[in-house]
């Protein structure tokens, strides 16, 4: 096996990088592939909580890099999916505990072991971000349909191009089709127009995402959730399958009927 190393980054904080990593890694593992996700946000770790693994952490990424444990010891196996592992970040250290070449070495060690390595980048464009992209074969940029998030994404795309990492793919997260229709939110076309990079998926706004994160059960495990479906589709596209984009507009059923009645739709 030679794993593909995928880094998820955004520039701006709070757009859903960690949620995207948790969901994509889980979805890929649900497809029967072996996946390791690495939390690159040293000092502010979150990925363990979203995956529901916070009380299983014994060793973390800094322990591996500084040689206090073996790589396998820091790989926490997921509760539900035996092919999904997490290498958590250290909470008591900072970004300077890891260097870009440490990350390259770590990922090279993982390449022979798994199918996919998914790295969660911290917000910003400083050391933590440099660490996260150092080993990446492919970069996914997450953004929200907000002007500030898009501008930060643009900055990140510029840096990635300057570093000759190739053009990244875009995940547009938390799109609200109703706001877009009323011209109150940037549409997917607007964002693509600005960034000019390949779109790999659009994730609709969905409260189940927050519920899942708080429970430690990523939303991809919820068969009915639309955001879950969107993440499952992106995971398939990462694995090289051609999946058509979801129709975000059609919201049938009772909710749609209520919205039509109240004039919100």
Partner 1 sequence: MEQQTSLVHIKGIRDGLLATFAEAAWQDQSASLLTYINDRPAFFQGARLAMDVGTQVLKVNDLVEIRDRLSERGVSLWAVVSESQVTEQTAQLLGLATRISKPRPEEQRHPIAVAEDMALFVNKTIRSGQRVEYPGHIVVMGDVNAGAEVVAGGHVIVWGRVRGMLHAGAAGDRSMTICALDLSATQIRIADQVSAMLKPQKNPKPEVASINNEGTLQSELWLPG
CB of 95 to partner 1, least distance (A): 11
Between 189 and 207, CB nearer to partner 1: 189
Query: CB of 219 within 8 A of CB of 11?
Result: no
Between 183 and 250, CB nearer to partner 1: 183
The structure tokens 């639309």 sit at 226
CB of 60 to partner 1, least distance (A): 20
Long-range contacts of 50-53 (CB under 8 A, 24+ apart): 50/18, 50/19, 50/22, 50/213, 50/216, 50/218, 51/22, 51/26, 51/78, 51/84, 51/86, 51/216, 51/218, 52/79, 52/215, 52/216, 52/217, 53/78, 53/79, 53/86, 53/88, 53/216
Q: Are strands 84-87 and 76-77 parallel, antiparallel or unpaired?
A: antiparallel
CB of 120 to partner 1, least distance (A): 21
Between 53 and 134, CB nearer to partner 1: 134
CB of 143 to partner 1, least distance (A): 12
CB of 98 to partner 1, least distance (A): 10
Percentages (nearest 5) of helix, strand, coil residues in the chain: 45, 15, 40
- Footprint on this chain of partner 1 (rule: CB under 8 A): 99-102, 125, 127, 134, 147, 151-152, 154-155, 157-159, 161-164, 194, 196
Between 88 and 168, CB nearer to partner 1: 168
Between 147 and 243, CB nearer to partner 1: 147
Going along the chain, which residue ranges are E strands? 4-9, 35-39, 76-77, 84-87, 116-120, 138-143, 169-175, 198-204
Between 135 and 200, CB nearer to partner 1: 135
CB of 121 to partner 1, least distance (A): 16
């Amino acid at each position: 096996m030679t794993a593909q190393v995928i880094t998820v980054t955004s520039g701006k904080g709070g757009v859903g990088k960690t949620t995207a990593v948790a969901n994509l890694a889980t979805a890929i593992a649900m497809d029967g592939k072996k996946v390791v996700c690495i939390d690159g946000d040293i000092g502010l770790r979150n990925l363990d909580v979203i995956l529901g693994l916070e009380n299983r952490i014994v060793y973390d990424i800094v322990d591996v890099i500084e040689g206090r444990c073996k790589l396998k010891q820091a790989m926490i196996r997921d509760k539900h999916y035996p092919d999904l592992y997490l290498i958590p970040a250290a909470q008591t250290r900072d970004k300077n505990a890891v260097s870009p070449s440490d990350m390259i070495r770590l990922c090279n060690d993982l390449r022979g072991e798994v199918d996919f390595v998914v790295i969660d980048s911290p917000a910003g464009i400083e050391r933590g971000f440099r660490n996260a992209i150092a080993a990446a074969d492919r970069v996914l940029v997450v953004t929200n349909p907000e002007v500030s998030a898009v501008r930060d994404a643009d900055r990140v795309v510029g840096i990635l191009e300057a570093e000759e990492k190739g053009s990244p793919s875009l995940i547009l997260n938390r799109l609200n089709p109703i706001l877009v229709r009323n011209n109150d939110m940037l549409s997917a076309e607007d964002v693509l127009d600005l960034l000019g990079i390949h779109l790999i998926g659009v994730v609709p706004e969905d409260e189940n995402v927050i519920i899942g994160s708080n429970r430690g059960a990523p939303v991809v495990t919820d068969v009915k959730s639309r955001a879950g479906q969107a993440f499952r589709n992106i995971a398939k596209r990462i694995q090289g399958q051609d999946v058509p984009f979801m129709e975000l507009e059609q919201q049938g059923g009772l909710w749609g009927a209520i919205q039509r009645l109240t004039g919100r739709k």
